[in-house]
Amino acid sequence: MKKKGILLTVVILLSAASFAQALEGELRGVLDFTYQSKYIWRGFDVYEDKSAIQPSIDLDLYQTGFGINIMAHRANSSGYENGERWDYTVYYGDSVFEGETYATNYRLGYVYYNYPDNSSHTRGSIDLQEMQLVLSWPEICPAGVVPSYALIKLWPSNGDTLNGKASGWAHVFMLDYGLNLGTLIPDMPEQVLNLHTEMVFNDGVDPRGIGVDHDWSNIVFGVSTDFDLGNDLTFTPGLYHQITMDDSVNDDKDETWVSLSVKYRF
C-alpha cells in the first residue's frame, strides 16, 4: 500500500502542476478497448495462448507533456485470475532538436504493475514497478522509416515479494513505417498500413520472477491500419508474428496473434 500511496501522490502533483496551464490547454484523452487473440508481452506468452481484453484510458494533461495511462489486462478464459493485471502509468514526453535531421522525441515514464489477486501481504505480492525511457527519431531517415529505442528497468514493488528474480533491464529496438495505400474506399481518408518490427534484448526482466537468460529474446513483425468510423471513433485491426530466440522467455518458437482495437478520442 505504501508504493500505491507514492504513486497516487505523484499523480496528484502532476495534475496540480498541469492545472495551472488548464486555461491555455485542454484536457484530452483516448478511451481504448482492445481484444488480443493472444496476450504476448515482451516475448512472454502471458495467458498461454488464451485471448485477452485490454481496456484503457490515456489522459493528455492540458498539453503540458504530462500524461496518465491506466490499462487492465484480463484473460478471456478461467484459471488465469492470478495473472490479471492493472498498469498505472505517469509519464512526460516532449521533443528536442526540432527542424533538424536528428530531431528526437522522448518519453520518460513510471509504471506500477498491480496484480489484484496477488497483492495480499499474507501471501506475498507479485506487484512490480518500472521506469522506462523511449526515444524516437522521426526525421532521421529520408525514406520515412522511424527508428525507436526503449530502455526499461523493472523491479519488485517491495521486499515481501513472490517475484524474487523479476528485476532487470530490457532494451527494445524498433522500426516503424507508414505505407500509404491511397484512398481505397470512397469518401474515406487515405489508408495507411503501419508496419512495425521490434527486437528485444532481455537483461533480466521477468514478470514471472523465475529468471531468464541475459540474451536476445524475441523479434516481432506487425502490420495494422486505422479505419475512421466518424464521431472520433477509430477501429484498428492488427496482425503480429513473433520469432522467439530464447526458450527461457517462451518455449514456443513462433507466435502469431490478432489485435482488434476501438478508440474514442475526446
Average per-residue pLDDT for the chain: 89
For 12-33, the pLDDT digits (tens) are: 555 555 555 554 678 999 999 9
Higher-pLDDT residue of 122 and 92 is 92
Q: Please compute the mean of the pLDDT values over residues 152-160 and round it to a whole number.
A: 84
**pLDDT score, position 160:** 58
- CB distance 165 to 210 below 8 Å: yes
State phi, psi for 145 to the nearest 5 degrees.
-75, 130
**Over 50: is that where the pLDDT of 94 sits?**
yes
**Structure confidence at residue 166 (pLDDT):** 87
Q: Which residue has the cell 526482466?
A: 205
How large a percentage of the chain has pLDDT more than 90? 75
CATH code, domain with 252: 2.40.160.40
The tens digit of pLDDT for each residue in 208-245 reads 888 999 999 999 999 999 999 999 999 999 999 999 99
Q: Provide the number of structural domains found in the chain.
A: 1
State yes or no: pLDDT of 11 exceeds 60: no
- Average the pLDDT over 139-148 and give the result: 96
What is the domain range of residue 180? 2-265
Judged on CB neighbours under 10 Å (0-12, 13-18, 19+), 78 is exposed
pLDDT band at 119 (very low <50, low <70, confident <90, very high): low
Instruction: Please give the pLDDT value at position 182.
Output: 85
Q: How confident is the model at residue 1 (pLDDT cuts 50, 70, 90)?
A: very low
CA 76/CA 47 separation, integer angstroms: 9
User: What span, in angstroms and rounded, lies between the C-alpha atoms of 161 and 171?
Assistant: 24
Tell me the mean pLDDT in the region 156-163. 71
pLDDT of residue 12: 53
CB environment 167-188: b (16+ within 10 A), e (fewer): bbebebebebeeeeeeeeeeee
pLDDT number for residue 82: 86
